[in-house]
Amino acid sequence: MDVVNQPDDHKLHETPHTDDIKVEHEYGSRNAEPEAVNTPHEHSDHKNIDSKHSESNAYGIQRGRSDSAKWDDDDQYHDAHSNGASVHATADNDGVDFVLLPKQDDADVDSEHEENPNASELDMQREPEKPEEDNLEERLQLYSEVLSLRKELDVVKEDEQRLRQQLQNTQMLINEYDPQIEKMIVVLENEAQQSLLRKLWEEQCQKTNPDEMDWSNINIANLSQRVQEARKISMMTTEKVDMLYANRDEKLNIHTDNREQSKAKLKERFEEEMEGLQDLRSRLKQIKDEHMFHQRRGTARAEDRNILSNETKKLNRQHRVAEVENRTSAKVGALSDTLTDLMEECKVLKKQLDKSQSLSDERKNALEDALKKVQEEGSEARDMRQMLEAEQEELSALKADLQGVLHYVRAARREEEIF
């Protein structure tokens, strides 16, 4: 809105009868009429006041009803007060008119009090104009808030337009890529159904749990929880495997140490025995040579032959015993290995047996519960059947009675018709 600031030293239409006009122009009172002054020219003064009032209202007032030209804040209002102008507002259907009028000095007011004896009455009329100034400040604040809200509304409208454009673009992308994604999903599902991993999955499921698990359809419910449980189980199994490998390494080290020690002991014993048997072997070899020499000459004795044959038999017997011991020790080792394998298999089978027994017990309990329910339902059905049969008998008896009564009534009616 356009505001005109008039200078302080401006005097509006100074005439012999402008005292009342000055006061009214200073405070911008458009609705209040000044009281009549007891002068000889009373009627003419009223006419002059009306004419001067219209001139003063026309001078220095510009109305702005355009929404684009508004104050952004209250600084101009305070600047107007600091320049010594009084502000007045009048409301109409189109907008608000703002009028800035020059402020009158205190000396002029005192001179007016001296010249005009009714100045106190005019001061009483000026007092109701102060609330109007307060109302004007409130209106200016409201207009500043309205301007800020309009700016925010423009920003919100721009955001809304941008979001609508984004939604439109996303919808276009969805409409464009949905058919391709559906085709890709169908192709990938077919490939997954025909993949080697799927076949291996079905084979393992058939081997492990052919009765309990529906291996034809993969269950993806609670997948994250099941994966976590499987990871925990795998971690436990890896820990157990590591422990078993560590135990195996320890046992292998112990076994190798024992074996080396036993080999060293056997080697020492063998060397000791060989040293002890060396004299015997040399003597036996000498005896054998002599015996062969006598046999070639034909001078051998029967006792020597028997002694030599007994000794050879004894050695042969010892060799055979050693061979048998070697074979039996090898068989015992193999049998011990097979025994350990069988014991482990027995443990596994026992676990499977316990598991199958628990499952069979659960199924048995479920079947017993189902049987009890069926028996209860059967007992209820038998009771209901007996009750229905009793009712049927009663109804059949009642039917027979009614048929007899009907025959009797028909016979009586026929007799009445005849007679």
Digit-by-digit pLDDT tens for the chain (419 residues) are 343 344 444 443 344 443 443 333 444 444 444 343 344 344 444 444 444 444 444 334 334 333 443 444 444 444 444 444 444 444 343 444 444 444 444 444 455 445 455 555 555 555 556 677 778 888 888 988 999 899 999 999 999 999 889 888 888 877 777 777 777 877 887 777 777 777 777 777 777 666 655 555 666 677 788 788 888 988 998 999 999 999 988 998 998 898 899 889 988 988 888 888 888 888 888 888 888 888 788 776 655 555 556 777 788 888 889 888 998 998 998 899 999 999 999 999 999 899 888 888 898 888 888 888 888 888 888 888 889 898 989 998 999 999 889 998 988 888 888 87
What is the full DSSP assignment across 103-141?
PPPHHHHHHHHHH-TTHHHHHHHHTTHHHHHHHHHHHHH
Distance CA 295, CA 302 (A): 11
* CB-based contacts of 46-51 (< 8 A; 24+ apart in sequence): 48/15, 48/17, 48/18, 48/21, 49/17, 49/20, 49/21, 49/24
Residue 86 host element (H or E): strand 85-91
Query: Which pLDDT score is estimated for 243?
Result: 92
pLDDT at residue number 123 = 57
Count of helix runs (H) and strand runs (E) in the chain = 9, 2
Contact in structure between 80 and 7 (CB atoms under 8 Å) = no
Calpha distance 43→393 (Å, rounded): 126
Backbone phi and psi for residue 279, each to the nearest 5 degrees, phi listed first:
-65, -40
Write down how long the chain is: 419
DSSP 1-16: ----PPPTT------T
Q: Give the integer Cα–Cα distance in Å for 12 and 59.
A: 9
Residue 91, SS3 per DSSP: strand
Q: DSSP for 331-356?
A: HHHHHHHHHHHHHHHHHHHHHHHHHH
pLDDT at 212: 58
